[in-house]
Amino acid sequence: MRFSFAGPEKRLTSDGEKESGHQRVLPGISHHVCPTLTRSCFFTFCALEMSKAGALDLASGLGGKIEKDDVLSAVDKYEKYHASFGGLDEERKANYTDMVNKYYDLATSFYEYGWGESFHFAPRWKGESLRESIKRHEHFLALQLGLKPGQKVLDVGCGIGGPLREIARFSSTSVTGLNNNEYQITRGKTLNRVAGVEQTCSFEKADFMKMPFPENSFDAVYAIEATCHAPDAVGCYKEIYRVLKPGQSFAAYEWCMTDAFDPNNRDHLKIKAEIELGDGLPDIRSTRQCLAALKEAGFEVIWEKDLAKDSPLPWYLPLDTSHFSLNSFRLTAIGRFFTKNMVMALEYVGLAPKGSQRVQSFLEKAAEGLVAGGKKEIFTPLYFFLARKPQIES
């Protein structure tokens, strides 16, 4: 999973004041729970001291729109979709809405606590912080799309809108975020208000397989690590093609298996299954399948590249337990140990719903799978392409 030390910053309002979300949900709680402190609660307090708002917001957001009493059974149902629990990819594809929404209801709070407002990886230069690399990766898309002030842009699978706010401000465009997860949209709207971008940034709750926009609506479309959730890439790209104006561009970062992936290698298959379970994916397509799907949908591919290939620092570095960084402390082995104990304690004292530790552990599996997939170069989250809808449809 994606842990960083971004939690405290994200809760600052544009005036630099802290949001008081934890007071809203947890009035006077700490005094009542002190007598029941266990050893793991000690670790919890260490972590809370480091990031009070982050930790308590993590607890209050856990489960997203799922009723707190239903979180445990949602975790059960979610896990059963996946290979290590006997699930089949056909079932995941047929039930993608339920599977992906359960995943994001369960995982969003962890994402935000760990990774900040943008839920994606990035290639990284030496001397560049994780946060800087994430923003640069967003700016790169804006540059490739050639965004101009006043244009109408669509962000497909926008999360809580970190990239959308950044790209709108960077390029002076209006960006609509399409997302099928209600909890993330609610959170995104709050963050838009905090950032003061409600005039140019908006959200639409819908499935990217059936978009609620007329054809030829947008001057540009992008997707960041989102269309990997689609049960069918051609169907998804065709929808993007339909809503894009002729002659305009679509750019994306896709999660893919590379040419080094061997479907007959059990170790490779195990890594792929860990990533699918830990990241809510029906199946991970190869770079070649994505490219073929783009062409089948009608796009002209301008250029494409796995950006992981020449990244000076590997994209998975923040998740690698052998790496230590004070700037991204929560990602380190020790930081993850704190988080694990903190979640255990929060669940024990009833501040986090039952099932929270199970979510934390499948996200931990995801981190292991991602690092192993990255090290073996069989998986990349950085498959970039720029494609154009022809001016005159052939």
Let me know: does 387 contact 267? Beta carbons within 8 Å. no
Q: Is 208 an interacting residue with respect to ligand SAM (CB under 6 A)?
A: yes
Is residue 249 part of the contact set for ligand SAM (CB under 6 A)? no
Please confirm, yes or no, whether 225 is among the known catalytic residues: yes
Question: Per CB under 6 A, which region of 13-21, 30-38, 221-229, 383-391 contacts ligand SAM?
Answer: 221-229
**Closer residue to ligand SAM (CB): 104 or 329:** 104
Least Cβ distance, residue 265 to ligand SAM (angstroms): 26
**Would you say 151 and 75 are in contact if contact means Cβ atoms under 8 Å apart?**
no
Q: Is 118 in the site for ligand SAM (CB under 6 A)?
A: yes
Chain Cα centroid distance, residue 392:
35
CA angle 147-10-195, nearest 5°? 50
Rounded distance, CA 232 to CA 13, Å? 39
Binding ligand SAM (rule: CB under 6 A), the pick from 63, 64, 162, 335 is 162
Q: Which is nearer to ligand SAM, 226 or 256 (CB)?
A: 226
Q: Where are the alpha helices (DSSP H) in the chain?
A: 7-10, 21-25, 29-33, 39-50, 52-61, 71-80, 89-94, 96-115, 130-145, 162-171, 182-195, 233-243, 266-279, 287-297, 333-348, 356-375
Nearer to ligand SAM, 10 or 22 (CB): 10
Tokens of 65: 């729109």
- Confirm if 162 and 116 have CB atoms less than 8 A apart: yes
> In the stretch 71-110, what mask flags binding to ligand SAM with x, by CB under 6 A?
-----------------------------x---x------
The Cα–Cα gap between 276 and 282 comes to 7
Q: Of the ranges 142-150, 157-165, 302-310, 354-362, which one interacts with ligand SAM (CB under 6 A)?
A: 157-165
CB of 98: closest distance to ligand SAM in angstroms? 11
Q: Is 29 in the site for ligand SAM (CB under 6 A)?
A: no
Near ligand SAM by CB under 6 A: residue from 78, 119, 237, 315: 119
287 binds ligand SAM (CB under 6 A): no
Is-contact 198 234, C-beta < 8 A?
Answer: no
The residue within the footprint of ligand SAM, chosen from 1, 141, 226, 275 (CB under 6 A), is: 226
Residue 141 CB-half CA count within 13 A: 30
Burial of 16 (0-12, 13-18, 19+ CB in 10 A): exposed
As measured in angstroms, the least distance from the Cβ of 387 to ligand SAM is 18
- Which ranges of 148-232 would DSSP assign to H, the alpha helix? 162-171, 182-195
| CB of 118 or CB of 202, closer to ligand SAM | 118
Annotated catalytic residue, options 225, 254, 347, 364: 225
Sheet holding 244-257, edge to edge: 201-205, 174-179, 152-156, 218-224, 244-257, 379-388, 300-306
Does 209 sit near ligand SAM (CB under 6 A)? yes
Whose Cβ is closer to ligand SAM: residue 212's or residue 312's? Answer: 212
27-35, 66-74, 220-228, 364-372 -> range binding ligand SAM (CB under 6 A)? 220-228
With CB under 6 A as the contact rule, which of the stretches 52-60, 72-80, 85-93, 175-183 interacts with ligand SAM? Answer: 175-183
- Quickly count: other Cβ atoms within 10 Å of residue 34's Cβ: 11
Q: Which residues bind ligand SAM (CB under 6 A)?
A: 100, 104, 118-120, 157-159, 162-163, 178-181, 184, 207-209, 224-226, 229
Residues forming the active site = 225
